[in-house]
């Protein structure tokens, strides 16, 4: 899944980026509010991690502009501001969760997983689809309880489809979530990846809907 991190503190930005990438996310980064707003408004992300104290445009303004334009991506707000009134203002502006600094990286990852799951209609950390089970904490796909060995990119593909099970996901949407904005996206990359994943699975988990995209059926 592709995540947007907007944070102007170099150390925090570096640490959080490294943790997100280690957890299997594709990360686009900005240290400026205006640039971060533009990325979130023009690119497709599964979630955003947004600091409030930003140069160019503060995080609250970024969030309000996203919501006003209909951008509904899950947003985890990071802030050094401790007043309860500011936390309430952030949530009322459309934040899905709020984490005060200083924080533990593990909590950032846990809260991010939670808001992403909730956005897809899943409360539990394990998502089931027929004989398949996706553990979002361990980043592991199992079939009948037996783990399947997937590359990071293969896992991102399966995880995104299972998070949105029951919905046909267009090929372009999948491509957007598999690579950073900084990389060229090959037209047949998703088809090749789907083929690799299917060869590893003992079940027909992913269906193709010609002309529309791919789906993990809700009753798979």
Question: In this predicted model, what pLDDT tens digit does every residue of 170-189 receive, in sequence order?
Answer: 988 888 887 755 444 555 78
Distance in angstroms (rounded) separating the CA atoms of residues 100 and 64: 19
Q: What are the backbone dihedrals phi and psi of residue 117, each rounded to the nearest 5 degrees, phi first?
A: -60, -45
Distance in angstroms (rounded) separating the CA atoms of residues 136 and 114: 9
CA 113 to chain centre: 8
User: What is the torsional sign of CA 201, 111, 78, 98?
Assistant: positive
User: The whole model's pTM is what?
Assistant: 0.77
> Which of 8-17, 33-42, 56-65, 174-183 shows the lowest per-residue confidence on average (mean pLDDT)?
174-183
Question: In this predicted model, what pLDDT tens digit does every residue of 17-31 receive, in sequence order?
Answer: 999 999 889 899 999
Q: What is the mean predicted confidence (pLDDT) over 162-174?
A: 91
pLDDT of residue 18: 96
pLDDT of residue 185: 53
pLDDT of residue 88: 74
Distance in angstroms (rounded) separating the CA atoms of residues 19 and 7: 14
pLDDT band at 205 (very low <50, low <70, confident <90, very high): very high
Architecture of domain 126-215 in CATH? Orthogonal Bundle (1.10)
Question: In this predicted model, what pLDDT tens digit does every residue of 107-162 receive, in sequence order?
Answer: 999 999 999 988 888 878 899 998 999 998 888 999 999 999 999 889 989 999 99
Superfamily of domain 2-119: Response regulator (3.40.50.2300)
83: pLDDT strictly greater than 70: no
Q: What are the sequence ranges of the domains in the chain?
A: 2-119, 126-215
Residues 6+ positions from 98 with CB-CB distance below 8 Å: 76, 77, 79, 87, 90, 91
pLDDT of residue 89: 76
- Helices then strands, counting H and E runs in the chain, come out as 8, 11
H-helix or E-strand spanning residue 133: strand 132-135
């Amino acid at each position: 899944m592709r995540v947007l991190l907007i944070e102007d503190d170099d150390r925090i930005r570096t640490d959080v980026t490294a943790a997100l990438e280690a957890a299997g996310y594709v990360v686009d980064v900005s240290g400026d509010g205006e640039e971060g707003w533009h990325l979130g408004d023009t690119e497709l992300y599964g979630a955003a991690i947004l600091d409030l104290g930003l140069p160019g445009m503060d995080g609250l303004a970024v969030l309000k502009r996203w919501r006003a334009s209909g951008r509904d991506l899950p947003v985890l707000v990071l802030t050094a501001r401790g007043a309860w009134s500011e936390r309430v203002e952030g949530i009322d502006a459309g934040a899905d969760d709020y984490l005060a600094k200083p924080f533990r990286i593990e909590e950032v990852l846990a809260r991010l997983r939670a808001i992403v799951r909730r956005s897809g209609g899943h409360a539990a950390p394990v998502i089931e689809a027929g004989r398949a089970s996706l553990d979002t904490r361990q980043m592991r796909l199992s079939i009948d309880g037996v783990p399947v060995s997937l590359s990071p990119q293969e896992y991102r593909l399966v995880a995104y489809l299972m998070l949105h099970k029951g919905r046909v996901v267009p090929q372009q949407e999948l491509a957007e979530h598999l690579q950073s904005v900084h990389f060229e996206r090959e037209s047949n990359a998703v088809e090749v990846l789907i083929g690799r994943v299917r060869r590893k699975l003992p079940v027909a988990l992913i269906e193709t809907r010609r002309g529309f995209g791919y789906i993990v059926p809700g009753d798979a």
